[in-house]
Chain A
Amino acid sequence: MPELWELTKLIRSKNAGPFELTFDIMFKNREAFDNALNSGKISAPTLARLYKVEQKQMRYFVIPELLTVKISIPRQAFSGDVRDTDVYGGQFHGPLVRLPVGKFTRK
């Protein structure tokens, strides 16, 4: 089963302002994009579960023209706050990188 990074050219997280995090998953080509979405591993419910947010708190975008899936979630700790762990929000994408993404397990 391929891991997500093998299908993508970029996986990143970043602040979208101090109060939100945003994640961009940009696929290598149309086939990789379709495979990932068809696998059911990349979807609003699975990503909400991975990042421990309720689905209604998450914004989920599928952008076919850019072969990209993007999500945005509220931060649990605001950027730079006493209990924050990542001021720029640049390492929250870590668990996505090696996420197993099955091929054609669900159409």
Chain B
Amino acid sequence: MAATGNLSTGFREETLIRAMEGADFLGCDAGSTDSGPYYLGSGNARGPREGTKRNLRLMLREALKAGIPMIIGSAGHAGGRPHLAWTLEIVRELARENGWHFPLTSIDSEVDKEVLLNAFRRGEISPLCPAPDFAEQTIASAERFVAMMGIEPIQAALKAGAQVIVAGRCSDVAIYAALPVLEGIPRWVAFHAGKILECGAASAEQRPYPDCMIAELEQSGFTVDPPNPAFRCTPQSVAAHALYETADPYHLVESGGMLDTTQAQYKTVSDRAVRVTGSRFVPAAKYTVRIEGAALAGYRSVVIAGIRDPLVLRQLDRFLASLRTVVERKIASNLGLGPDAYTLQFRIYGQDGAMGALEPTPRVEGHEVGLVIDVVAATQELAADILPLVWHTGLHHPIAEHQGLISNFAFPFSPPGLNAGPVYRFCVNHVWELRDPCAPFPMKMEAV
């Protein structure tokens, strides 16, 4: 049973209780790379802490009552050591507050730089496509790396008697496939069911709010059956879920092999349940895990400014190009920095702010524009020093049609500038070939 698609988003308590009837285990994914590299880079968990605690409390209560395993994957969003610690602290706090006692198993997925460096030197790291360049320097300059575990480390924990498992970075599918495969369910059944379950109730036809989902697995297929009576799965809704956030709807690459759903059949078995058969699991020649890493790219300061003057708007690109030239000169003379030492971007909402270079109509068609002046530099102080040179120069930057001092920007805030903190970037899209699928994922058991 999947409690929900993401631990922070929640589920209905009554659905959870209903879904527990007959459940063999309870899982939940807590992470993603979807919200960008910040969480992995900074080590901060993506909360909210209170919401996460509420969801964990209900899940723990039900799992302990039923005596079944509970598996959390990608703890704290990015699955690094600080994210795992953040989640474990909430679990321990809940145990203390509720007088619960159970064996708690954590699985670490952060990869130390020396370990990765040695793997790289042994030729075990290879790029996916597209991938940033990867070299020894990439490892040295990154903030943090995690490896994405497959089913094996979770299975090792289950074999060792774990009841509550909090795993670092983990394949979403592995959360749900680990135990069934251990119990003798074919991989294609377990992996395909895991793919459907990992988003909770998202495979239902309409999902007005996040909620739980159940799959019943056997040798010849599985049945998806939403425990919330208001939700309904259809063959189309379950099949369509394979499209969401996947580059290829038919081939899902996982550690240890690939799930091929080309021949999958989806059939209605009740007014709400759908049976799935016919997928294949193709074992990989080499066992690999995906590596994720984030590096510090600098510190950001921004200004938001409205532009309403039609004469400025009709020459906006020229205006900003000429502003850039003046500003680069000022930054060079005032701060001694060439344009390579910082990134200055004019993000023009009303022109191409959302799509950037992919915008097919990069021109202003409305009566106003939202301009975000975005500076990224090596330190926060430097970004904060550069920013006023840009906005103050731009504020009074002349155009030929107005003779005399003008003010081009409508700032909604005083002071106009905001310091946005560190900026990270994903610095790897690579896989690591492993002889032992559990080697980078040490587990620790504690009695709470």
Contact = CB atoms under 8 A, between A and B. Distances in A.
Interface in A75-107: 75-88, 91-92, 94-95
Given A18-B33, A18-B426, A91-B354, 5 more contacts: A20-B130, A66-B236, A79-B34, A80-B37, A81-B37
Interface of B: 33-38, 128-132, 236, 239-240, 243-250, 297-298, 343, 345, 347, 352-361, 376, 423-426, 429
- Chain B's interface: helix, strand, loop or mixed, by majority? loop
A15 B129 CA distance: 14
A1 interface: no
Across the A-B interface, give the 6 residue pairs with the lowest CB-CB distance, nearest first: A80-B36, A72-B247, A16-B247, A85-B356, A74-B130, A87-B36
B113 to A, nearest CB: 21
Contact of A17 (B37, B244, B247, B425): B247
B343 A15 contact: no
Most buried by A among B246, B297, B376: B246
Contact of B247 (A22, A51, A65, A78): A22
A26 to B, nearest CB: 7
12 contacts: A15-B33, A17-B33, A18-B426, A19-B429, A61-B248, A77-B356, A79-B34, A80-B37, A82-B376, A86-B354, A95-B355, A95-B361
B356 A63 contact: no
B130 A81 contact: no
Contact of B356 (A16, A17, A51, A76): A76
A76 B345 CA distance: 16
Interface of A: 14-20, 22, 24, 26, 50-52, 59, 61, 63, 65-66, 68, 70, 72, 74-88, 91-92, 94-95
B297 A81 contact: yes
Nearest to A49: B360
A18 B429 contact: yes
Contacts of A95: 355, 359-361
A84 B34 CA distance: 13
Contacts of B359: 95
A14 B244 contact: yes
Contacts of B424: 80
Contacts of A70: 243, 249
Contacts of B128: 19
Contacts of B361: 95
A87 B240 contact: no
A51 B236 CA distance: 28
B33 A94 contact: no
A70 B251 CA distance: 14
Contacts of B250: 61
A66 B243 CA distance: 10
Given A15-B245, A63-B249, A65-B239, A91 B355 contact: yes
Given A82-B423, A85-B353, A66 B239 contact: yes
Given A19-B429, A82-B423, A92-B358, A87 B35 contact: yes
Contacts of A61: 248-250
A94 B132 CA distance: 27
Contacts of A22: 243, 245-247
A80 B33 CA distance: 10
Contacts of A68: 240, 243
Nearest to B38: A80
Contacts of B246: 16, 22
Nearest to B248: A59
Contacts of B347: 85
